[in-house]
Every structure is written in structure tokens, then in C-alpha cells.
Amino acid sequence: MTLYQLLEGLSTTLSDCDITGVTDHTGYVTQGMVFVCVKGGSFDGHDVAAEMLEKGAAAVICERDMGLGAQQILVEDSRKTYGDLCAAWYGHPERQLKLIGVTGTNGKTTTAMLIRSILKAAGHRVGLIGTVQYEIGAEILPAPNTTPLTASFFELLAKMADAGCDYVVMEVSSFGLVQHRIGPAWFETAVFTNLTQDHLDIHGDMEQYYLAKRMLFDRCETAIVNADDPYGKRLIGEITCPVVSYGMTESAQVRAEGAELAAGHSHFTLVENGTAYPIETVLTGRFNLENATAALLACRAVGMALPEAAEHLRHCSGVRGRCEQIPISLPFTVICDYAHTPDALEKILEALRECTQGRLLALFGCGGDRDAAKRPKMARAAAQYADFLMITSDNPRNEDPDAIIRDILTGLTDTTTTVPYQTEPDRAEAIYLLMRQAQPGDVIVLAGKGHEDYQILAGNVKIHMDERELVRQAEQRILNA
């Protein structure tokens, strides 16, 4: 590709030449590449622009005059420009695919997985980009980021297009949006699930977090929005594209009514303009009825009849780490769920409270080096529905696990709700201790890790830790006692 082909009209006095690549990473620069100067939290690419030219870069993209003559190309926003250049470098694969985006604090993964499963059942070849994994048709790849970094995103889209995918379903994170990782990608439809406290260590406050999420709805044909969520209601009033609202209240255009919930399956009715559609799913919990509704409406928005989508939904299996039952031979139930925000923890416990015959026992922790303000809120959320709490570690990272637990416990001292609890920073031991005290008919919820099979310790050291394995190990200890 030549420089002028890559720039697609960006102004430059530099002579056209062959380009060998485009990057914002100093370690990847080789002869003939274009280097994009991006300012991050701790490093500014502008500081090494001259060095990148000495290293062999054909040109540098800058937001300010670096005194580098014709080899510097000035732009208003280098992050945004980087997205445009990556799209051009990979031949604009986003134009060859129908993109469906899902954003929100909770429910993104389940909703995206359901959309993917419905489309696949209808005969489409589907790419998936999300928290649990990436998929190119039947090929499964690890997911280092919910929304990939810019160059990786367009490389992944190019592979999906080459593999014959016609749809790509993706979780679109707030990070991915504000960092312009998705470049000029345009979405056939976009789903907004909800917005609750999370990532305030990055965004600062809920307003900035909301504005980040809203960016997705400036680049879609149709929006599917949860009208029961306060931020969803606001979004409906602010965006200009056609909107279909969903929920369980009268404010929604499409409502989920008459829910019959049980462990392992749910029945409900979708009502729209007086027409009722019976829906069946293996998912349980009212929040999952919202996720299922959003998935059905997203599939309808791209051309599938609602009854056909509902029939495919009926055969969709559950999602790993989302209200996932871990098989055991003991006379109680163990559920693994990714709930790591106060709202998500409250919703999973509320859902399981409805179908628990015995006690509801909850285990959770909070991540280190992340928004500490939500720690006591997690405790207060859990105390509303659980009969017993085991407070332990999540990914402590560079914080003292005991200090994180102390922060969590403040949420139990400033509430009128009294619930017995125990603390154990070793998550494996905490699972064993909780299972050891469980009685027939009880339900244990292991919250926070979900699909993750690792734990992040001090120094960002990642160790293997899969809760499914920990549950089996605890089961054997109990059986052998």
C-alpha cells in the first residue's frame, strides 16, 4: 500500500511512497512504517516522534507541530486517525461485514452470545468479539480485551471477512469507544443493556462513563435500548437513530411479561402492540429475560422474524461463567457468575432467591487497583438477598487482600440489614469453607470470576485458578473427610 492510499485524503506535502505498516507502538516500528503519536496515561508518542523517523518510519502522525518538516502529518485527533488508518491498512473489513454491537455495564456477554447463537442457528457464519473469547466461525481465540486494541481489531475483522463471516457480534466497551479502537466501524444495530457503577477509576464519574457508552449510538442504524434503566431512558431521548425500547414496564415498546422462573429454564411472553410471542429459554432470572429480549430484538433488527429468532433462542445453551451451574454430587447447588458490580451481584442473587429452596450463600470479593468506592456497595447489595456471605479475594493485584476485604466490610456496618459473614482471603479455601457448611437444598453463588480461569496477584502476576476445578477439589475434600 502507498502512503496516499493509506492516508485516504489526509493533507500532506510528503511524496507518495510504499508503506510497510502502521502502528502506535514504538517497539513495532520498522523501515517504511507510519507511526502514530498517541498520548496515553503514562506515555506520549509525540515525545519519540523524531526517534521513530530515525528508526525508519516513513512518516509520523502528530497532533502538534514537532518541527519534523514534511515527514510529520498533523491531525486533530491522532487516536481517531489511528483507527481510520488501521481500517484502511486492512482493506476496510468493517465495510464487508454486518456489525452488531452490545454495550452496557452488565449483560453484554450474555446478550452478545445469545445473538451469536441465534444467528448461527439460522445458518449465518458469525464472528464474535467479547469478554469470554473471540470466534471466527468455529475457530475460538483467547480474548485479551473485551474490545481489542485498534490494530488487532481490524486484523481480526479482516480474518473474519476472509473466513466468509457475514455477521460480527461484539461487546463494545467504554474503553474501546473513548480510545477509538473501533475506528470508522458502522453498526447495523447496537444494544444498550444498562449502566451502573463500574470503571470510575478510568472515567472519573458516571456522567463521563455514560457519555463513553453513548458514543456507540452515533454510529448505528438502529438502537435497541433498555427503557427500564434510567440511563437507557436518557439515551432514548438523546440519540437520533431509530430506537426500539424493551423492558418489563409500560415505558417499553416491547415488554417481557408473565415470567415463570425456575433453575435451568424460564418462560415469558413478549408483548408488542398487542401481539404476544411466547418465549422459552434455559436462562433464569429476570435480568436474563432482559438479555434474551435484547438479543431477539437485535436479530429482528437485522432481518430475522421474531418467531424464528425465538425458536432458535429456545435451543441456546447457557453462557460460561454467567449463572453457570457447576456439576457436583453433593445435595446442594453451586453457581458460578461473573457478577463483579453491585448491580450485577444484586441481580444474580435476587434471581436465585426466587428459585432457592434452602439458604442462599454468596461468595465474592473485589478487584485491587480498581474503583474502591464500589466495595462497600457490593456488600450492601449482597446483604439484601443472601443468608450468608463469604468475603474473599477477586483479583487483588497490587493491593493487600485483607485491606480490600476491610473496605468491603464497611458496607455491612453502615446498613440496617444484618447478615452473618466470614472472611477468608484465600479464594480456594473460602470456596471449600462455604461448601463444607452448605446444607441440602442450599444454593451457593461464586461471584466475580465467572469465565476467568486465572487470578491476578501483586506485580500483575497471573496464576491459574478455575473455580470449576476449585469446586471439584473442595467436593473431594468434603467427601473424603
237 shares a domain with 211: yes
Distance CA 417, CA 384 (A): 7
Q: Is residue 371 part of a domain?
A: yes
pLDDT tier for residue 343 given thresholds of 50, 70 and 90 = confident
| Joined grid coordinates for residue 360 | 442462599
Q: Point out the domain boundary residue: 265, 287, 314.
A: 314
Q: Are residues 82 and 154 in the same domain?
A: no
Q: What is the pLDDT of residue 371?
A: 87
- The count of domains in the chain is 3
Is residue 336 domain-shared with residue 475, that is, in the same domain?
Answer: yes
Please compute the mean of the pLDDT values over residues 163-189 and round it to a whole number.
95
Residue-wise pLDDT tens digits, 11-51: 999 999 999 999 999 999 999 999 999 998 889 999 999 99
Q: Is the pLDDT of residue 262 over 80?
A: no
287 falls within a domain = yes
So what's the pLDDT on residue 232? Answer: 96
Do both 78 and 98 map to the same domain? Answer: no
Q: 263 pLDDT band (50/70/90 cuts)?
A: low
Q: Quick one: cell of 61?
A: 502522525
Is 319 part of a structural domain of the chain?
A: no
Domain of residue 98 covers 93-314
Indicate if 181 and 150 belong to the same structural domain: yes
Instruction: Look at the chain and count its residues.
Output: 481
Nearest to 340 by CA among 263, 438, 451: 451
Residue type for 314, please?
Answer: R
Pairing type for strands 333-337 and 265-272 reads unpaired
Q: How many whole angstroms from its chain centre is CA 205?
A: 19
Is the domain of 329 the same as that of 306?
A: no
pLDDT at position 201 is 59
Could you read off the pLDDT of 49-104 as tens digits, one per residue? 999 999 999 999 999 999 999 999 999 999 999 999 999 999 999 999 999 999 99
Tell which of 44, 67, 89 closes a domain.
89
Co-location of 182 and 40 in the same domain: no
Q: Report the CATH number that the domain containing residue 81 is assigned in CATH.
A: 3.40.1390.10
User: What backbone torsions phi and psi does residue 280 show, to the nearest 5 degrees?
Assistant: -130, 140
pTM exceeding 0.85 = no
Residue 288 pairs with which residues in a beta bridge? none
Backbone angles phi, psi at 108, to 5 degrees: -60, -50
In a domain? residue 403: yes
Same domain, 74 and 194: no
Answer with the residue of higher pLDDT: 463 or 317: 463
Rounded to whole angstroms, how far apart are CA atoms 155 and 150? Answer: 9
Dihedral over Cα of 152, 89, 77, 45: its sign: positive
Residues 279 and 376 in one domain: no
* Gap between the Cα atoms of 402 and 399, Å rounded: 9
> Is the CB of residue 106 less than 8 Å from the CB of residue 194?
yes
Examine the domain organization and report whether 64 and 111 are in the same domain: no
The domain that contains 246 carries what CATH number? 3.40.1190.10
Q: Are residues 80 and 105 in the same domain?
A: no
Among 89, 117, 139, residue at a domain's last position: 89
Q: State whether 84 and 139 are in the same domain.
A: no
| Per-residue three-class SS string for 102-146 | EECCCCHHHHHHHHHHHHHHCCCCEEEECCCCEEECCEEECCCCC
Query: How far is the CA of 73 from the CAs of 14, 16, 68, 184, 231, in angstroms?
Result: 9, 13, 9, 20, 39
Does residue 196 lie within any of the structural domains?
yes
| Span 191-247, pLDDT tens digits | 999 998 665 556 568 899 999 999 999 999 999 999 999 999 999 999 999 999 999
Examine residue 103 and state whether it is found in any structural domain, yes or no. yes
